[in-house]
Structure 1
Amino acid sequence: MAKYTEMAYDSPEEMVFGEAKEPVSYGYGDAINVGGGSVVPVLKCAPRPGSEERPDKLTREYERIAKTTLDRVTTLGFPAVEIETEWIFQMGNSPGEFAVGPVSRQDELCEEYNEEYGLSTATCHTCPDMRESELGLRPGMDKTHFYPEKTISSFETAAENGADVLKVESMGGMEVADYGIQRQDIKAFLFGIGYLGSIDMEWLWSQIVDIAEKNDVVAGGDTNCPAANTAMFIAGGYLDTDVARTFSAITRAICAGRTLVAWEQGATGPDKDCGYEGPICKSIAGKPTAQEGKDCSVAHADLMGNLTLQVADMWTNESAEFHEEFSGWSSGTWIEAVGYETSLMNTAKQLGMDKELRDMYMSTDRFRSPEGYIIAYDNAYKIGEAIAEYGDSYYLRAKNAAITAAELIEEGAENGLQLSKHEQDTLNDVITDLRALPDEEDKFVEECLEEYADVPKFDPKNYDL
């Protein structure tokens, strides 16, 4: 498949929430037209512990999650909702036994509410990447759990039983990325995610796209949640010092090139919401992005809760446990928060004030952290340009994205972005390391295969090296 070597937008100013160059429609009703002029609310809710004991019990739990969500959306008069299910272990380990019921029942409920109330509905399924690098990432390698085969089977089960969209948080390159995060070794992270992760994505997403096309469903996108979010969470906020936030921000730029591979393999978007690199990828490809931020406070804290709304085409919470609260079920609580936020965004579009609201979202968090600074839409666009300039090479585009992000943070530090001495020192070290890397991909790979040969769980055979 062709790689991205040009930008979808002529300038960052063109980008705004609710609009993408290549919108995607699916589900029941007309309002699930992602990137076609409005922002779509998404609900993610996880089943309670114990509900996974039996397939019928798990099906009833997911049925309750869907019904309570749809009831709240209908009660409040929101026009559309997508229900996203991030599969638990049992569903991925035995998809035929544990996943068929939840997938099909949620789809049936979405169709019922569309027919009875005119509500536009859809289901998204984020299937688990259960593969373990030490056992093998490709079919035929894992003789213990057969996780590569089960991973592919999960997508087939979802697509065959009513899913509208397929997504994943893939794990390729994580063994080297984890090593890099622990040591703040940017070269290791670039090798693990920018290069190895992209190779793995190419293989995995060719399978997912084939499954989606065969079943007439949407192949959405991936995210680098396992790696870049790990760095972001360890970096934390102003009380945390284990990993510098400058290092974390640069890992986010690296992972954007990797996330892009799903779309290069034929996926159409929307991408996976916990990929904070979404604005970078959207600037390059013009496909819709799903985002999360301040409505994820039930699951984690971040330093850019408003900023991530700036160019979002879907807005979601992070997975919340399904349980009762004062206002009813937690599924209703969170879709209400998400729904009202998207109502504000869509009203701004109707009033012709969407770019003003975009800029207010962005400005609230622009200087709160280095990562928020580099994914502010104007800077995200610059990183997108850096990736597109070297789009044909997984290594060079990741390297160029990292250097561009580091230079942007340097500029930001001179214009209002406050960095501690530790963060500034780390930034200086990272820039030195990045500029010392070779210009040739083959030489870089040769160096890394030797330098990281003893990293636990790393096996070049997983990447056909």
Structure 2
Amino acid sequence: MSKYTSMAYDDPDDMIFGEAPNPVTYGYGGIEAGGGQVFPILKCAPRPGKEERPEKLKSEYRKIARTTLDRATTLGFPAIEIETEWVHQMGNNPEKFAAGPSVANQDELAEKYHEEYGIKTSTCHTPPDLREAEKGMRPGHDRESFYPEKVLASFEVAAENGADILKIESTGGMEVADYAIQRQDITAFLWGIGYLGSLDMEWLWGNVVDIADRHDVVAGGDTNCPAANTAMFMAGGYLDQDIPRTFAAITRAIAAARTIVAWEQGASGPDKDCGYEGPIVKAIAGKPTNQEGKDCSVAHADLMGNLTAQVCDGWSNESAEFHEEFSGWSSGTWAEAVGYEASLMNTAKELGMAKELRDMYMASDRYRSPEAYILAYDNAYKIGEAIAEEGDSYYLRSKNAALTAAEMIEEAEESEPLELTKHEKDALDDILTELRALPDDEDKFVDQMLDEYSDLPKFDKEDYEL
């Protein structure tokens, strides 16, 4: 597949929520991601213990789907997507724990509510990436748990049993990224996620797209949640000092160069909502992006809860445990929250005020953190340009994205109201020095990294065909 070497938009101001140059339609009634309206997405996880037996899991997922669809229909929302992020048991034995208990079960209810009430419905399935680097990341490497084979089997089961769209939070390169985040080693992160992660994505998404095509379902996209979100969460807010927020921001720019590989392999979008790099990849490819933010407060806190809505096409919560609230089941509670936010965006579009609302979302968090600053849609576009400029090389485009983001933050701290602590500024200076010292030749970089990080205990170059 060809790589992206140009931008889908001529101007960042053309980017808006609910619209994408390459919309995607799927589900009952036709949810059109990027086709003019923002649609809400509900994610809800089963209660602990419900995963013990397929019968218990089936009952739990049926309740999740029914209560979600009930609330959305009761409130008059025109559409709702139910995303199921599979628990371990489902990925470890998809035929037994996923096929009927979740996939076919929820598909049946989605069809039923569409036919009876006219609401547009879809089901998204996100199998877990169970692969463990110490066991092997490719088929035939893990002779103990067979996790690579089980990941692919999970997609087959989802596609065969009624999933409308397939996604994953893949973990290629995490054995290096974990080391990088703990030590704030930006070169190691560039190696682990920008390069090794992209190689793994190329293999994985080539397979996922093939599975989706054979079963006539949508291959959506990926996210670098395991690495870039880990950095973001560890950086935390103003009371946290585990790692610098400047470091976390640069990891996000690198993550974008990796996440877009799914689309280069033929996936159509929308991408996975917890990929905060969505505005960057949407700017490059023009494919729809799903996002999460303030409606994730049940699961985590972040410093850009409004900003992330700025150019989204689907709006999601983060997985909430299924339990009873004062208003009913938690699935309905969060379906209501994301549904009303999507309604606000769609109303702004109908009133001709979409760009005003977009800019308010963005401005409210633009200077709250370095990461929010680089993901503001105008700056996300600039990072996208940096990736496209070196689009043919996984290494060079990741390096260019990182350097562009770092220089952008440095300039903003001097000329705009982006405040950095001394710790964050020192970290940024170190990152800039390190990135500028890296070679311009990909082969030289790879040789250097293989020499420098070859002794990491979980890393095996054979997993990346090096």
What is the TM-score normalised by the length of structure 1?
0.99
Matched, 1:18 2:18: yes
Q: How much does 1:411 deviate? A: 1.4
| Residues 421-440 of structure 1 aligned to structure 2 (within 5 Å) | 421-440=422-441
| Residues 25-104 of structure 1 aligned to structure 2 (within 5 Å) | 25-30=25-30, 32-101=31-100, 102-104=102-104
Q: Distance in 2 between matches of 1:130 and 1:380?
A: 31
2:446 is matched with 445
SS in 2 for 1:53: coil
Q: Distance in 2 between matches of 1:191 and 1:47?
A: 36
1:293 is matched with 293
| Residues 205-220 of structure 1 aligned to structure 2 (within 5 Å) | 205-220=205-220
Q: Distance in 2 between matches of 1:410 and 1:356?
A: 28
In the alignment, residue 55 of structure 2 is paired with which amino acid?
D
2:346 is matched with 346
Q: How much does 1:455 deviate? A: 1.2
Q: Distance in 2 between matches of 1:269 and 1:410?
A: 33
CA-to-aligned-CA distance 1:83-114 (integer Å, 9 cap, x gap): 00000000000000000111001000000000
In the alignment, residue 434 of structure 1 is paired with which amino acid?
L
Uncovered stretches (5+) of structure 2, i.e. residues with no partner: none
Matched, 1:319 2:319: yes
2:234 is matched with 234
Q: Distance in 1 between matches of 2:440 and 2:140?
A: 35
Q: Distance in 2 between matches of 1:445 and 1:71?
A: 53
Q: Distance in 1 between matches of 2:104 and 2:59?
A: 12
| Residues 33-182 of structure 1 aligned to structure 2 (within 5 Å) | 33-101=32-100, 102-182=102-182
Q: Distance in 1 between matches of 2:52 and 2:407?
A: 51
Q: Distance in 2 between matches of 1:408 and 1:352?
A: 32
In the alignment, residue 311 of structure 1 is paired with which amino acid?
V
% identity of equivalent residues: 75
SS in 1 for 2:125: strand
In the alignment, residue 69 of structure 1 is paired with which amino acid?
T
In the alignment, residue 434 of structure 2 is paired with which amino acid?
D
Q: Distance in 1 between matches of 2:131 and 2:242?
A: 28
CA-to-aligned-CA distance 1:139-192 (integer Å, 9 cap, x gap): 111010000000000000000000000000000000001111111000000000
Q: How much does 1:456 deviate? A: 2.1
CA-to-aligned-CA distance 1:285-307 (integer Å, 9 cap, x gap): 00000000000000000000000
Q: Distance in 2 between matches of 1:241 and 1:433?
A: 22
Q: Distance in 1 between matches of 2:11 and 2:432?
A: 27
Q: How much does 1:454 deviate? A: 1.2
SS in 2 for 1:25: strand
In the alignment, residue 229 of structure 1 is paired with which amino acid?
N
What is the TM-score normalised by the length of structure 2?
0.99
In the alignment, residue 452 of structure 2 is paired with which amino acid?
E
Q: Distance in 2 between matches of 1:233 and 1:109?
A: 35
Uncovered stretches (5+) of structure 1, i.e. residues with no partner: none
Q: How much does 1:76 deviate? A: 0.3
CA-to-aligned-CA distance 1:354-377 (integer Å, 9 cap, x gap): 000000000000000000000000
Q: Distance in 2 between matches of 1:60 and 1:210?
A: 31
Q: How much does 1:428 deviate? A: 0.3
2:190 is matched with 190
SS in 2 for 1:51: coil
Q: How much does 1:242 deviate? A: 1.1
| Residues 239-318 of structure 1 aligned to structure 2 (within 5 Å) | 239-318=239-318
Q: How much does 1:379 deviate? A: 0.1
Q: Distance in 2 between matches of 1:379 and 1:455?
A: 35
CA-to-aligned-CA distance 1:44-71 (integer Å, 9 cap, x gap): 0000011111101101100000000000
2:465 is matched with 464
Aligned pair count reads 464
In the alignment, residue 70 of structure 1 is paired with which amino acid?
L
Q: How much does 1:263 deviate? A: 0.2
CA-to-aligned-CA distance 1:381-429 (integer Å, 9 cap, x gap): 0000000000000000000000000011011112100000000000000
CA-to-aligned-CA distance 1:19-63 (integer Å, 9 cap, x gap): 000000000013x10000000100000000111111011011000
Q: Which stretches of structure 1, 4 residues or longer, exceed 4 Å deviation after superposition? A: none
1:366 is matched with 366
Q: Distance in 1 between matches of 2:59 and 2:270?
A: 28
CA-to-aligned-CA distance 1:312-334 (integer Å, 9 cap, x gap): 00000000000000000000000
SS in 1 for 2:51: helix
Q: CA RMSD in A?
A: 0.4
Q: Distance in 2 between matches of 1:327 and 1:282?
A: 36
Q: Distance in 2 between matches of 1:323 and 1:268?
A: 34
In the alignment, residue 424 of structure 2 is paired with which amino acid?
E
1:378 is matched with 378
In the alignment, residue 52 of structure 1 is paired with which amino acid?
E
Q: Distance in 2 between matches of 1:457 and 1:53?
A: 30
CA-to-aligned-CA distance 1:187-235 (integer Å, 9 cap, x gap): 0000000000000000000000000000000000000000000000000
SS in 1 for 2:260: helix
